[in-house]
Amino acid sequence: MDIVSWFPSLTTTSLLALALWLGRNLIATRLTASVEHEFNTKIESLRADLRRKETEIAALRGGAMSALASRQIALDKRRLEAVDQLWAAVTALGPAKGISVFMAVMKFEAAAKEAEINPKFRQIFEALGAGFDPSKIDFSQSAKARPFVSAMAWALFSAYQAIALQAVTKLHIVKSGIGADILDKQAATKLVKAALPHQAEYIDKYGDAGFHYLLEELENRLLEEMQNMLKGVEADKASLDQAAEILKRSNELSEATRQSEVPPNLALNRDAPTASL
């Protein structure tokens, strides 16, 4: 009878405990679901924010890369134009190179001495180089090319021009009978040695009389340098130092020409391509 009296009490207690357990689990489940939902919402918002920022960064990167690409394309185009401008100046010196052929086989000092005292001898040279006026060559275009070509390309062009125009100067000296003493051979020799140091022994042996035979090598070196420039080959320190030395000697030759007694029409318009490095 005692057991029977306790049974309703035990049943009530058990049911109450079960209800509490179920309620606790339900609350925990709902809390977990609520927290998980809030977490997922924040994660998704964060992901959306990251995707938006990635899109913005990609747009900025794309714009920057596009701008860089546009600038690079413009620079490459200008370099090509600069190469054309520099080579056009070399081509314009073609007649001077032709005169150099003749002057290379002539004994200049003897011819200049004879021309000083013999008008008829001077007349022999009148037809040579007729129609070619180096002062009318427009070097302004080659000067505009300078910022876009390598230091060595500009230096080699300056050396090439100096040699070619020196031959023209020699011809005018003979045609005018003004004497060979006004020609500064030392400055020209230093310039050619700076441009072609491996030819120093040849230059010492033949002097300025052998300069013509180095024009082809200078022309080939200039072509090679411009090809390397367009390929993006970087100049090393030795090359930059040599370019600076070539331009230094070119400036010295230009200054010597201006200070000499060569008439203005024989100064050969050398100012544009001989600016310092």
What is the extent of the structural domain holding 194? Answer: 75-274
Residue 51 in domain:
no
Residue 67 lies in a domain: no
Asked, for residue 201, whether it belongs to a domain, the answer is yes
Q: What is the 3-state secondary structure (H, E, C) of the chain?
A: CHHHHHHHHHHHHHHHHHHHHHHHHHHHHHHHHHHHHHHHHHHHHHHHHHHHHHHHHHHHHHHHHHHHHHHHHHHHHHHHHHHHHHHHHHHHCHHHHHHHHHHHCCCHHHHHHHHHHCHHHHHCCCCCCCCCCHHHCCCHHHHHHHHHCCHHHHHHHHHHHHHHHHHHHHHHHHHHCCCHHHCCHHHHHHHHHHHCHHHHHHHHHHHHHHHHHHHHHHHHHHHHHHHHHHHCCCCCHHHHHHHHHHHHHHHHHHHHHHHCCCCHHHCCCCCHHHCCC
Residue 69 lies in a domain: no
- Does a structural domain hold residue 149? yes
Query: Count of domains in the chain?
Result: 1
277 has pLDDT over 60: no
16-68 residue pLDDT tens: 665 566 566 666 566 566 656 666 677 677 677 777 777 766 666 666 556 65
Has residue 60 been placed in a domain? no
Q: Is the pLDDT of residue 15 over 60?
A: no
Residue 7 lies in a domain: no
The string of pLDDT tens digits covering residues 208-263 is 888 888 899 999 999 999 888 888 777 788 888 888 888 888 788 777 766 654 44
Tell me whether residue 246 is in a domain.
yes
